[in-house]
Amino acid sequence: MNEPIYLDYAATTPVDPLVAEAMAGCLTRDGCFANPASAHRPGREARRRVEAARFAVAELLGAEPREMVFTSGATESNNLAIAGAARFHRRRGGHLITSRTEHKAVIDVFRRLEADGFEVSWLTPAESGIVDPAQVAEAIRDDTVLISLMHVNNETGVIQDIAAIAEITRAQGVLLHVDAAQSVGKLPIRLQEWPVDLLSLSAHKFYGPKGVGALFLRRRPRARVEAMMLGGGHERGLRSGTLATHQIVGMGEAARLAIRDMGADRERILALRGKLEARLLAMPGVRLNGDPERRVAGTVNLGFDGVHGEALVAALDPYLAVSSGSACTSASAEPSYVLRALGRSDAQAESSLRLSLGRFTTEAEVDRAADCIEQAVSRLRALSPRSLGDSEPTPLSG
């Protein structure tokens, strides 16, 4: 059987071949494998490559290289930024702000901080998924020390107006953290223009390797956090541990490719998404979840009335790799908390499917995917809940 068509780029992206090539040069004895903290010549060469990657990642974000701290990914960066900043500034106040549609790597940190005595205000976005900057301004108090809002939602692809929100937080003297895992490499980010204090990213969301990410910490005005991982004092004492040269080099190469190809990628992917949406939204009982305009190019979240999302994913599994929501919550039987926060009922949330396209998606794959989804939805709607539970999925034509 042929491999299924991959339409789950929001969960992870394949490593670009040029990224893999750069990484391979840092693994074996005849490559640059040395510890970048070592003082000898091989160590200095490894360090040079790490710093070149740091420069590339900073350039992608419009930041300074010394403002980038390498981590194991956006989850660690979120933990370091949110818990680290909240604890460092505890004497200034114990009030924090976030939204109900954040990634679990943000929400769970805030839940832990609540248990530790911090007070959290949970903002509810509009039905479109957008948090109005006025909501943020109204929620700020004299004891607010940190606000965390994602740039692009991982389930709906909705884009928040981070620039406007950052102007508000800077004027109020409140730190702003942004989870940008879903936007880096897809949208222009200009940290020299946006007064964002902390920003998290992960390489595997933009064609780099898994297991490496970064945290931006602004130097002026200085964003300060309490270290979460102690040891050898690596990364200016903020993230101890031997640097994974091959992964960091891969992230740097992915950043360079994003700088070069972001615009062309976006236009091509947007056209493919438009074609896919036009086919699926023409079906009866199909609705779009999230704002129709303010979305990243590659992501579409659709609800299919009368169909359970997990059943649809299972029916499509031999043909398409898709998801019913975030990969980080796929083990949960609960309906998407993101869609419920947008006002969707449990049944509506459970009937939704996330499709995400990327750099290697082709027009032929989009056409085939639309055919498969149309057939699967029609077949599942024809089945009663009982027969659906008792039946094996029948093959789709083609």
Instruction: List the catalytic residues.
Output: 328
Concatenate the DSSP letters of all residues of 238-267 into one string: TS-S---HHHHHHHHHHHHHHHHHHHHHHH
Burial of 267 (0-12, 13-18, 19+ CB in 10 A): exposed
Q: Tokens at residue 360, please?
A: 């290697």
Helix or strand holding residue 114 (H, E):
helix 104-115
Report which DSSP code applies to 73.
Answer: S
Q: Tokens at residue 241, please?
A: 């541990």
The Cα diameter of the chain in Å comes to 69
Give me the sign of the Cα torsion angle 39, 44, 48, 50: negative
Contact yes or no for 67/217 (Cβ under 8 A): yes
Q: Rounded distance, CA 213 to CA 203, Å?
A: 5
Identity at 219, one-letter amino acid code: R
Closest CA to 108 of 85, 130, 75: 75
Would you call the peptide bond into 221 cis, given omega within 30 degrees of 0 as the criterion? yes
Q: Which residue has the tokens 């109020």?
A: 172
Contact yes or no for 302/289 (Cβ under 8 A): yes
For 351-374, b/e burial (b = at least 16 CB within 10 A) is bbbbbbbbbebeeebbeebbebbb
Q: Is 21 helix (H, G, I), strand (E, B) or coil?
A: helix
